[in-house]
Amino acid sequence: MRYCIGVDLGGTNIKAGVVDETGRILAEDSRKTKIPRPESEVCADIVETILCALSRAGLTLDDIEGVGVGCPGRIDSGRGVVVHAYNLVWREYPLCDALRASLHCPVYLGNDANVAALGEVWAGSALGASSAVIITLGTGVGAGIVIDSHILMGYNEAASEFGHTVIVHDGAPCTCGRRGCLEAYTSATGLVRMTREAMEQNPESLLWKLTDLAGVDGRIAFIASRKGDRTATEVVDRYIGYLACGLANIINAIQPEVISLGGGVAKEGDPLLIPLRERTYQEVFGGLGEKYTRIELCTLGYKAGIIGAAMLALSSAGQKP
């Protein structure tokens, strides 16, 4: 059996896991990232987290083929450098070199959303798919494209930002500076905005019995809709309509075998997924043939980041680190 280490480096937590070639996590460990502090201290804690996870798995550094790290922000995977990570307050930090100096094994670096997408393809919702797009419906809308087991990073390693493709020309302002991005309508933040707007226009809605405007979150419209509230049902319908538009755009553009949805909003499950599939498939170019894109929910949760990072190392091991 081949083993690699996957590290999910976030602004809040450092998580590391020992992963075998089948995508199974043998053991894990985690630490707080405690940002801001010097990069070298964070690095030392990454090493410690790795060694603890290895020890729990009954293995040592000699047993592993390499370490993969998923990191937020702009990455230069060729040089192994974190170019810019707002969450970590890092700029041009040679993370791979720093880790290699302590671990004496190959270290590979990737963007956290892309690495998590790789995890879902290796061991989750898109297991074995020739191509997949993983969409995260959280505060923003993240995207990772995997084709033939490789992350599509784009010419400048900044892909994919499907969340920042415009679906409503001159629509709602987006954090990126454009107007009408998919993210502005299908992130949890976008859903909160649409819920608040609907509440302001419908003082009789049940939504007012469940929350005030300040307390609106990404679940409340789904909850009130299930209780039969008309205003909330309209919000949910609008939300699903925008998301179906975005997924049909992805399908028409690149025809992946699977699209998987993760993040907070995806936790709604079937009440989201079933109408979403129906409405997306209505908009697919040329109609559904024998082979069509499956739309699924992500299954690995936070483990996608660890497993994907390990896969990055496993699939790169033997190539130039």
> Can you give the binding site for a second copy, defined by CB under 8 A?
74, 130-131, 143, 145, 147, 152-162, 164-169, 171, 176-178, 180, 242, 245, 248-250, 252-257, 283, 285-286, 289-293
Report yes or no: 308 and 122 within 8 Å, Cβ to Cβ.
yes
Question: Which is nearer to a second copy, 208 or 281 (by Cβ)?
Answer: 281
What would the two tokens of residue 148 be?
């033939």
67 vs 141 by CB, closer to a second copy: 141
Q: Decide: 276 and 227 in contact? Cβ < 8 Å.
A: no
Which CB sits closer to a second copy, 131 or 205? Answer: 131
The nearest distance, CB 152 to a second copy, in angstroms, is: 6
Cα distances (angstroms) measured from residue 110 to each of 6, 45, 55, 200, 314: 11, 19, 25, 43, 13
Closer residue to a second copy (CB): 44 or 89:
89
* Smallest gap from residue 88 Cβ to a second copy (A): 17
Q: Nearer Cβ to a second copy, position 5 or 258?
A: 258
- Gap between the terminal Cα atoms of the chain: 21
Nearest approach in angstroms of CB 283 to a second copy is: 5
Whole-number minimum distance, CB 67 to a second copy, in Å?
A: 26
Residue 288, Cβ density class (10 Å: 0-12 exposed, 13-18 middle, ≥19 buried): exposed
Choose between 177 and 228: whose C-beta lies nearer to a second copy: 177
| DSSP code of residue 305 | H
Burial class (CB in 10 A: 0-12, 13-18, 19+), 212: exposed
- Nearest Cα to 228, choosing from 205, 250, 253? 205
Q: How far is the CB of 126 from a second copy (least distance, A)?
A: 11
Residues 6+ apart with CB under 8 A from 304: 116, 117, 119, 120, 124, 134, 262, 298
Q: Look up residue 281 and give its two tokens.
A: 């498939």
Least CB distance to a second copy at residue 16 (A)? 29
Q: Are strands 294-297 and 25-32 parallel, antiparallel or unpaired?
A: unpaired
Q: Kindly tell me which of 32 and 291 has the beta carbon lying closer to a second copy.
A: 291
- Helix (H) or strand (E) holding 99, with range, is helix 95-103
Q: How far is the CB of 172 from a second copy (least distance, A)?
A: 11
